[in-house]
Structure 1
Amino acid sequence: MLTLVLGGAASGKSEYAESLVLKTTGPRYYLATMQVWDAECAARVEKHRKMRAAKQFETVECPLHLGNVSLPARGTALLEDLGNLAANELYDPAGAGENAAKAILHGLESLAAQCENLLVVSNEVFSGGADYAGDTDRYLLALAQVNNAFAARADAVVRVVCGIPVYYKGVEK
């Protein structure tokens, strides 16, 4: 089952996606896309890793090149989040650059083939009504392309607003 969980900043989307994963049996993978730039980032990653371990997640770091991820067994994977991954692929010199959306979608297909369930967390884009220019617009367009393509393929698409899930496709499990 493929599920896309969307929401704005601090909407509760990550907590909701995690709650869905905790309802599953079998191996649980947390695919972390944050790049570690400094000691503060490293401390945050370590804190989150410990929290996830208590919930029986195996953390897989994948800030770039999602298509290279190989999961050790079929199970449920939670990708957190597409916004980080898109920025990493666009702007990191080792990333896919202008081919970021295509590379991410290829990686999602590869992951989907390895999982019983794949839950993907992403940010809403273009709902704020603001006009963006330059690199921000390029980033938002790439993320929108990935969101739209994955939503079309997904079994369920849910938007979380103030902690409340609203299903646009599929039903709550």
Structure 2
Amino acid sequence: MLIIITGVSGSGKSEYAEQICCRLAGDNKKYYVATMQPFGEEGRIRIEKHKRQREGKGFETIEQYQNIGSALDCCDKEERPVVLVECMSNLLANECFGEAGKPDDIFDGCMKLYSGCRHLVIVTNEVFSDGCEYDAGTTDYIRRLGEINVRLSRAADAVVEVVYSIPVFLKGDIGDVDN
């Protein structure tokens, strides 16, 4: 099952995504694919918050800042884990603004990653409604994130927006999923 979880910053989407992964995984392997590079004090604080949040939940962390399709290359191909990608907006920023980035390859990379998973949960951000004007680079980034979110949502079995920590299903249902 491919599940997309979206919401604004601080909405509770990350915690909800972790809960879903734990429920879907049962006794199966769980990977947390971290895409945020630790730039600056604010970034380090946010990363530490997420690490504390998932302590004791059984996730093995893979740091994958670009080329999301290769995130499981070092793993046992037979294990078919549950994978949480946290988050698409960071991955896209790394691909758009990082050295040798390939933002046009993200969707295909996600599909490659999904092919090696039992379930794939991708967290993304809703950054489209603030009404601000941005420079050309930021506008292109926002457009790209919107396009990726649409493509992933079309491919997904379920799309959930977390609003004030309340999951609102926009597509599909997670229901009672077999492990």
Alignment correspondent of 1:125: 127
Structure 2 CA distance for aligned equivalents of residues 45 and 145 of structure 1: 26
Q: CA RMSD in A?
A: 1.9
1:60 correspondence with 2:62? yes
Q: What percentage of residue pairs aligned between the two structures are identical?
A: 40
1:87 correspondence with 2:93? yes
TM-score (norm 2): 0.86
Shift of 1:103: 1.2
Distance 1:28 1:8, change over 3 A: same
Alignment correspondent of 2:39: 37
1:104 correspondence with 2:106? yes
Structure 1 CA distance for aligned equivalents of residues 30 and 51 of structure 2: 13
Shift of 1:138: 0.7
Structure 1 CA distance for aligned equivalents of residues 48 and 31 of structure 2: 16
Structure 2 CA distance for aligned equivalents of residues 12 and 53 of structure 1: 16
Structure 2 CA distance for aligned equivalents of residues 51 and 161 of structure 1: 19
Alignment correspondent of 1:143: 145
* Contact 2:15 2:53 (8 Å CA) reproduced: no
Q: The residue matched to 1:58 in structure 2 has which SS?
A: strand
Aligned residues: 169
Q: The residue matched to 1:90 in structure 2 has which SS?
A: helix
| Structure 1: unaligned runs, 5 residues or longer | none
Deviates more, 1:24-33 or 1:48-57: 48-57
Q: Which amino acid aligns with 2:62?
A: V
Structure 1 CA distance for aligned equivalents of residues 67 and 107 of structure 2: 11
Residue deviations 1:55-101 (CA, integer Å, cap 9, x gap): 100101101111222243211000000000000000011312xxx0x
Q: Which amino acid aligns with 2:129?
A: S
Structure 2 CA distance for aligned equivalents of residues 46 and 142 of structure 1: 28
* Contact 1:49 1:59 (8 Å CA) reproduced: no
Q: Which amino acid aligns with 2:99?
A: P
Residue deviations 1:13-46 (CA, integer Å, cap 9, x gap): 1111111011122000100001133577557546
Deviates more, 1:37-46 or 1:106-115: 37-46
Post-superposition, which runs of at least 4 consecutive aligned residues in structure 1 deviate over 6 A?
none
Distance 1:91 1:28, change over 3 A: same
Structure 2 CA distance for aligned equivalents of residues 170 and 133 of structure 1: 36
